[in-house]
Every structure is written in C-alpha cells, then in structure tokens.
Amino acid sequence: MLIDSFNRTIDYIRVSVTSRCNFRCLYCMPNTPFEWEPHENILSYEEMFEFLRLAIDEGVKKIRLTGGEPLLRKDLDVFVKMLHDYKPELDLALTTNGYYLKEYAKKLKKAGLKRVNVSLDSLKPEVAAKIAQKDVLNKVIEGILEAKKEGLLVKLNTVVMKGINDGEILDLLEWAKKHGMTIRFIEFMENERAYPGIKRVSSDEILKEISKKYNFKELPKDNSASKYFELEDGYVFGIIEPHSEDFCKSCNRIRLTAEGYLIPCLFFTESYNIKEAIRKGDIKKAAEILREVVKNKPEKNDWQEEEVSSRAFWETGG
C-alpha cells in the first residue's frame, strides 16, 4: 500500500500518454509550446505498462489516461487492453476533449475502458471555438453521445471563466441532466501558461447561479476531486474547488507523464523520472522512486494561497 506523509492512501494514477493536443484551450495551452519532446524520450506503452503493473501491485486501483489529448496517441485501445487484462477490476478511465471520441468509443469500450470524462465548456459553437481556438463543438457533442451509446459511463467537465461561459452554467447543467450524465464545474486553476485574461469563477458563485433555479443538498465527500450535490429530483452534479482549504485532504493521486516523470502534485514543478530505471529493467529502483514520490507529496497546493502555478497542465494531464 502507498501511504504519504499525511496518512493519505495513494491508489490513483493519472497517466498523460502524450503532451500534444489538437485544441489550444485558453485556460491550458493557448499557444503552441516551443518544442515537443523527441519521440525517443517518450515512454512506449510497454514501458508505461511495466511501471503501472508495479503501481497496481502496490495498491493502485484507479488509472486515468489523459494528456494533452490522449486520443491523438496511436493505438490507445491496445494500451487500455493491456491494463484491463492485467487487472479487470481496475477503475480504468479516460479524460478527453472528445474531438475523436466518436471514432474511438467502441474500440475503447471493447478494450476494457469503463469511464470517460469529456471537457465541455460551452453549448454555443462560437464560444466553444473561442475557448479551444478551433471550431470543435459538433464533433465533441457527437463524441459524447457516441460514448454514452457504447455503454461508457460519461461525465462532463466544465472550466468556468468570467465573461466567457459563466452565463451558461444552468444551460450546461440542464443539457447534462437531459442526457443522463454528471457534470462537474471546475474552478479555473491559475497557471502561467494560460491566457492572461482568464478569470476564475468561484465555487460559491457557481452554486449561487444554480440555486437561482434549483434546490440541492451536498452529498458526503469521498476521495474524488469533486464535491457532489443532489437536486430534488435526484440528479447529481459536482464542483471541483482546488482553492478550498480542505480540497487536498482527500488527495489520493500522483501523475505519470509521457516522458516518464512522476509528479507528486499538480501545482508544483517537483518531479522524479522512472524512464532510466524502467529502460534498464531495474524494477527495484522504479519501486524506490515510486515510494519517494508518494513520501514527498505536499500537504496541499498553493492555489489556496492565491499563487499561480508554472506547471503545464498538458504535460501533467490535469
């Protein structure tokens, strides 16, 4: 079992399979990064699997594939199948911008993927295009509906930004409700790479907007990043509020990047690399690094102190 210095059990790994993306979201990667890692620096699926097998044997129960845009990496379904076949009861999930989901949903489901979380920031084509800096809405919606049709459990993620999509909170909630999907509204996490003009909408403001039309009650919190709320008719939505004081108390996760960096926390730049150990077949060393990362997880992020992170979301996978 992996337990950190604050007695939190770490049983969730988010794996960024590629840093590349076909969107340029204002809150994440508004500009194309200076240069991409050369191919030889990227872990192969087999190398990632070697490490993840070790982590699973140490108690990891949930693996989420993310990016950049994970569906840009070839044969993602093959990787999903490797993980699923190793431990079918894994909570195996994907976070995607949805653009290529229509094509991939069936294959991913067949390979053993259970869940998919899709970013949906607006229902207005021109607003979605402003945020992603590309005309994306139709393809994203088609992808979401196809994933649902294939029997994947679908959640929606919305980063709420002042003056951009904060007028659509109720519309997005009602769209998600109509389609039987949970939506989570995310507080923008201030980041040096984001477009400078982006302003966060707080969880209180989001809840206030929803309360204009609905009564709801907060549900007991588990170790998910999200708080969940239930409307009177039983529909459940979520809020992800990393600026709140108790957000990190239930942290159960670390991150692995495509270049082999293990990252103790989304906010900080600290990282450790397992590539050399894995390429040498030195599993003992990789296990030592994994324990070191868990031991060095910080108690909490610095968004709570109104600081700005310099860690790129597209590398860590969010």
Ligand X SMILES: Nc1nc2c(ncn2[C@@H]2O[C@H](COP(=O)(O)OP(=O)(O)OP(=O)(O)O)[C@@H](O)[C@H]2O)c(=O)[nH]1
- Positions in the binding site for ligand X (CB under 6 A): 64, 66, 93, 95, 117, 155, 157, 186, 189, 224-226, 240, 242, 251, 253, 266, 301, 318
The residue range among 78-86, 208-216, 260-268, 310-318 that interacts with ligand SAM, by the rule CB under 6 A, is: 310-318
- 227 - beta bridge partners? 239
Closest contact distance (angstroms) between CB of 215 and ligand SAM is 28
Q: How far apart are CA 79 and CA 45, in angstroms?
A: 6
Residue type, 299: E
Among 14, 301, 311, 315, binds ligand SF4 (CB under 6 A): 301
Contact yes or no for 157/184 (Cβ under 8 A): yes
CB of 194 to ligand SAM, least distance (A): 5
The set of residues, in sequence order, having a beta carbon less than 8 Å from that of 294 and lying 6+ positions away, is 2, 3, 4, 10, 254, 264
Q: What is the dihedral of CA 172, 176, 181, 185, to 10 degrees?
A: 10
CB of 279 to ligand X, least distance (A): 28
Was 318 annotated as part of a binding site?
no
Contacts of 111 by beta carbon, 8 Å cutoff, 6+ apart: 77, 78, 80, 81, 84
Q: Which residues contact 40 (CB under 8 A, 6 or more apart)?
A: none
Of residues 7 through 66, those in contact with ligand SAM by CB under 6 A are: 21, 27-28, 66
203 is in an annotated binding site: no
Say whether 155 counts as a known binding-site residue: yes
Q: Which residues are annotated as a binding site for S-adenosyl-L-methionine?
A: 27, 68, 119, 189
Residues of the shown chain interacting with ligand SAM in the complex, contacts defined by CB under 6 A: 21, 27-28, 66-67, 69, 95-97, 119, 157, 159, 186, 188-189, 191, 194, 313-314, 317-318
